[in-house]
Amino acid sequence: MKIPNRPIISVEQFEQAIEKAKLSDSSQELIEYIRYTGVFSQPSIVKDLRIKSKPPVLSILCEICRAIGSQVPEHFKAIRKWSKLISEHDVHWDGDLICSSAQNIDGIPLTPEAGTAPYEILVVHKELFTGLG
């Protein structure tokens, strides 16, 4: 199956949306960590940022993405549509606004369900990655 092209937002638009979303300091720190690290999992975030494992960080990430997405509604709507198209279960994941599941060279997701990793491995979208700059 050919994966449809992901809707892309400019870095400037994304950063303006973050600013307008008025995120809490902890939410801002989480987004900055994800954008800087590039590749992460729930356990790595919990360990590196020393936060509680409940509620799940990926649920918190979805809430943050909805707050950011409300500032760029057309882009967020397009991301949600794309997310549903690429989903094995025909559902969208709001975290796809900033990151998606990593895949191995064979195009298989790095997830426990796929038998390729003990935790879901996520990767930030290239245009939102800040770790080199």
- CA 104 vs CA 82, 98, 123, 130: distances in Å: 20, 19, 12, 22
Q: Which are the contacts of 75, defined by CB distance < 8 A and separation ≥ 6?
A: 7, 9, 13, 69
Record the tokens describing residue 128, joined without a space: 């939102």
Other C-beta atoms within 10 Å of 128: how many? 19
Q: Which are the contacts of 83, defined by CB distance < 8 A and separation ≥ 6?
A: 92, 93, 94, 96
Residue 1: per-residue pLDDT: 57
The predicted model scores a pTM of 0.93
Q: What's at 21, amino acid-wise?
A: A
Percentage of the chain exceeding pLDDT 90: 90
**Edge-to-edge strands of the sheet including 99-101?**
39-40, 122-124, 99-101
pLDDT average, residue stretch 52-67: 95
Kindly indicate the confidence band of residue 118, based on its pLDDT and cuts at 50, 70 and 90: very high
